[in-house]
Amino acid sequence: MPDLAQLNEFLARDFPQTRCTVVALAERSATVRHPGRGGGAAPGGTVSGPVLMAVADVALYVAILAEIGIVPLTVTTQLSVNFMRKPVAGRDILGVCTLMKVGRSLAVGEVALYSQGKDEMVAHAVGTYSIPAAARAR
């Protein structure tokens, strides 16, 4: 299964538009970081809602690939996000994904999103990925 460096190489090569990096992997869990400054800031300088959704999507994707191997055809089928607090302006966003199911054809996980250094989530996401038959056959 891919390690942290291999997942970051994969992201950099196949998703050059993402600004996320993988910062930790654990059993059925992955943590990604998104810079708090630069592109995509919402009015007021905080990270925007769509960027939080993109961070959740990357965190889920990486957590699943760490379990099943780098299978690029794995695709998001559903993503649901609750936005709860305004991110702290200028702070990096951390997305901590915990997988709840890695089945034969579907994987489901949740992602807690934080402004770095704060205890309260800024947002929480739950998502489902479809795993292609080719990956299941391995």
Residues that bind its own copies (CB under 8 A): 14-15, 17, 39-41, 43, 48-50, 53-54, 57, 72, 75-85, 100-101, 103, 105-106, 108, 110, 120-121, 124, 126, 128, 130
Minimum CB separation of residue 85 from its own copies in Å reads 7
Q: Which is nearer to its own copies, 50 or 90 (CB)?
A: 50
Q: How far is the CB of 109 from its own copies (least distance, A)?
A: 10
The separation between the first and the last C-alpha atoms of the chain, rounded to the nearest angstrom, is: 12
* Shortest distance, position 41 Cβ to its own copies, whole Å: 7
Query: CB–CB of 74/64 below 8 Å?
Result: yes
Whether the CB-CB separation of 41 and 48 falls below 8 Å is answered with yes
Q: Which two tokens stand for residue 41?
A: 């800031």
In angstroms, rounded to a whole number, what is the distance separating the alpha carbons of residues 84 and 118?
13
For residue 129, the SS3 value is: strand
Residue closer to its own copies, measured from CB, 2 or 87: 87
